[in-house]
Amino acid sequence: MITVGELLDEKGHGIWSLKPEDTVFDAIKLMDEKGVGALAVLKGDDLVGMISERDYARQVILKGRSSKDTKVKDIMSTQVYYTFPSQTVDDCMVVMSERRIRHLPVLKGDELIGMVSVGDLIKDIIAEQKYIIEQLEHYIAGDEYS
């Protein structure tokens, strides 16, 4: 079972973030540039929220707001669910499924060290299942060394 820390070591510890005072337009632009669906919102080094494409759709577009006039702090999610490097991918999938979220910040103590998405977790789960299937096929075929 792979841990979140191991997953981050494989995929990278890149964190894309902005400040609560930044505009939602800046957030959407950064998400587009980086090809991500959510960003951490930091006040100094402290994680104070998350902003996602879903927040934008529900809190700006559907409410007729302007992304250039709306601040991130006005629409960000302040109840942030997060994970630790020692947690397993399966643990994260449970949290993400139960909370209906697609991104989890990874904290080491109070320090934000990365972000995992549901896509990252699914990719890892599929790779692990593929490996298990290959091992079972070798076992069934009677291969001693594979």
Q: What is the CATH number of the domain that holds 120?
A: 3.10.580.10
Average pLDDT, the chain: 91
- The pTM for the full model equals 0.82
Per-residue model confidence (pLDDT) at position 128: 77
Domains identified in the chain, total number: 1
Per-residue model confidence (pLDDT) at position 122: 86
- For residue 145, pLDDT over 60 is answered with no
Cα separation values, 106 from 20, 123, 132, Å? 19, 18, 27
**pLDDT greater at residue 19 or residue 11:** 19
Q: Who's near 128: CB < 8 A, 6+ residues apart? A: 2
With respect to residue 146, please indicate whether it lies within any of the assigned structural domains: no
Residue 51's H or E segment, with its range, is strand 46-52
With respect to residue 33, please indicate whether it lies within any of the assigned structural domains: yes
86-138 pLDDT per residue, tens: 999 999 999 999 999 999 999 999 899 999 999 889 887 777 777 778 888 87
Per-residue model confidence (pLDDT) at position 143: 67
